[in-house]
């Protein structure tokens, strides 16, 4: 089996995340893509993050129409910081030794990967797919990937057209009482508006 791991804060989830997951599933022939909302993301401590179960619910609304997408609460249920290596190790145990894991992330996050917890162990534990938007210059990524491959990492690049959408922009639009329509699935938009999220 080939399992995609779509980790992230998803605060909130949007079409950029969904298009990236679908493109990765198609290009790398993934059997399923597992969305894993972070419980306590270690790189987001500078701002307040929405309650994890609220983010989990919005993610569930977003992916329910795609039979290839699944949802996991593994990081929310685990106490302490949400470290990717702990999630990858747990999923390896769950799916068994014959499963190949593909961790899907954005290009900007990948450039910070050497600051991640137990990175040398992590880059040897799974494949990485770095998604970037059209017009993004991947030259810096290519240099970083060449270095990481020398340390045992397995990295792939994926161009995704919808990556100009961001959770940060959606939250800011809500604070300014501006429209978020067509930036995320309609059930997610309606749930956010009904609950008064991000205002």
- Supply the DSSP string of 20-74, one letter for each residue: HHHHHHHHTT-SEEEEEE-SS-GGGTTSPPPPHHHHHHHHHHHHTT-TTEEE--H
Measure Cα distances from 123 to 29, 88, 92, 163 in Å.
21, 10, 14, 24
Q: Do the Cβ atoms of 55 and 9 come closer than 8 Å?
A: yes
Ranges 129-133, 155-159, 189-193, most confident = 189-193
**Cα–Cα distance measured from residue 25 to residue 115, given in angstroms and rounded to the nearest whole number:** 27
Residue 142 has pLDDT above 90, yes or no: no
Output the pLDDT for position 52.
95
Output the pLDDT for position 112.
83
pLDDT in tens, 73-130: 999 999 888 889 999 999 999 999 999 999 999 888 888 877 888 988 998 899 999 9
pLDDT in tens, 19-57: 999 999 999 999 999 999 998 877 655 568 999 999 999
CATH 3.40.50.620 describes domain 2-164: yes
Domain residue spans of the chain: 2-164
Output the pLDDT for position 145.
83
Output the pLDDT for position 136.
82
Nearest Cα residue to 137 out of 105, 155, 111, 168: 111
Output the pLDDT for position 44.
59
pTM of the model: 0.91
Q: Mean pLDDT for the chain?
A: 91
DSSP annotation of 151: T
Nearest Cα residue to 155 out of 126, 115, 120: 126
**Cα–Cα distance measured from residue 91 to residue 183, given in angstroms and rounded to the nearest whole number:** 30
């Amino acid at each position: 089996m080939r399992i995609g791991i779509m980790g992230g804060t998803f605060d909130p989830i949007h079409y950029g995340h969904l298009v990236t997951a679908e493109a990765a599933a198609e290009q790398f022939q993934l059997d399923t893509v597992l969305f894993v909302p972070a419980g306590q993301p270690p790189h987001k401590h500078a701002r307040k993050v929405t309650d994890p179960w609220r983010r989990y619910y919005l993610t569930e609304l977003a992916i329910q129409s795609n039979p290839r997408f699944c949802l996991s609460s593994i990081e929310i249920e685990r106490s302490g910081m949400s470290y990717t290596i702990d999630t990858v190790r747990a999923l390896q145990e769950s799916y068994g030794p014959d499963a190949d894991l593909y961790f899907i992330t954005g290009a900007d996050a990948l450039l910070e990967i050497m600051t991640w917890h137990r990175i040398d162990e992590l880059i040897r534990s799974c494949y990485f797919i770095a998604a970037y938007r059209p017009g993004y210059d991947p030259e810096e990524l290519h240099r970083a990937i060449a270095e990481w491959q020398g340390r045992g990492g397995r990295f792939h690049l994926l161009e995704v057209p919808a990556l100009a959408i961001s959770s940060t922009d959606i939250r800011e639009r809500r604070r300014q009482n501006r429209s978020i329509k067509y930036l995320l699935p309609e059930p997610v938009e309606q749930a956010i508006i009904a609950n008064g999220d991000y205002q």
